[in-house]
Chain A
Amino acid sequence: MGSLSGWYSGPETGMQASNGSVGFDEAALVERARGGDDAAFEGLVAQYQRKIYRLARNITQNDEDAEDVLQDAFLKAYTNLDKFHGDSKFYTWIVRIAVNEALMKLRKRRGDKLVSLDEEIELGEESVTREVAVWDGNPEQTYSQDELRKLLDEAIQSLKPTFRSVFQLRDVEELSTEETAEALDLSIPAVKSRLLRARLQLRERLTRHFKRKGDDAFAFL
Chain B
Amino acid sequence: MTRLLSCKQFLTELNAYLDEETSPDERMRLQNHINECPNCWVVVDTTKKTINVYKGVEPQSVPNDVKERLMAALQRKMAAKRGGC
Contacts and interface: CB of A to CB of B under 8 A. Distances in A.
B74 A42 contact: yes
Interface of B is mostly: helix
Contact of B75 (A4, A51, A129): A4
A13 B58 contact: yes
Given A54-B59, A78-B78, A220-B39, A148 B71 contact: no
Interface string A177-206: 000000000000000100110011011001
Contact of A78 (B11, B45, B68, B77): B77
A71 B53 contact: no
Given A54-B59, A75-B73, A134 B66 contact: no
A117 interface: no
B31 interface: no
Contacts of A134: 42, 45-46
A145 B54 CA distance: 11
Given A4-B71, A4-B72, A195 B62 contact: no
Interface residues of A, number: 52
Contacts of A145: 57-58
A53 B59 contact: yes
A71 B12 contact: no
A123 B12 contact: yes
A64 to B, nearest CB: 10
A78 B45 CA distance: 42
A38 interface: yes
A171 B50 CA distance: 10
Interface string A33-76: 00000100110010001110110000000000001001100110
A53 B67 CA distance: 10
Contacts of B78: 38, 41, 78
Contact of A49 (B8, B15, B62, B72): B62
B70 interface: yes
Nearest to A146: B60
Contacts of A174: 55
Contacts of B75: 4-5
A84 interface: no
A156 B83 CA distance: 44
B57 A148 contact: yes
B43 A71 contact: no
Nearest to A66: B66
Interface of B: 7-8, 11-12, 14-15, 18, 39, 42-43, 45-47, 49-51, 53-62, 66-75, 77-78
27 contacts: A1-B68, A1-B72, A8-B70, A41-B74, A45-B74, A49-B62, A53-B59, A53-B62, A70-B66, A70-B70, A74-B74, A78-B77, A78-B78, A134-B45, A135-B45, A152-B54, A156-B54, A167-B54, A171-B54, A171-B55, A174-B55, A192-B15, A195-B15, A196-B14, A199-B50, A202-B50, A207-B46
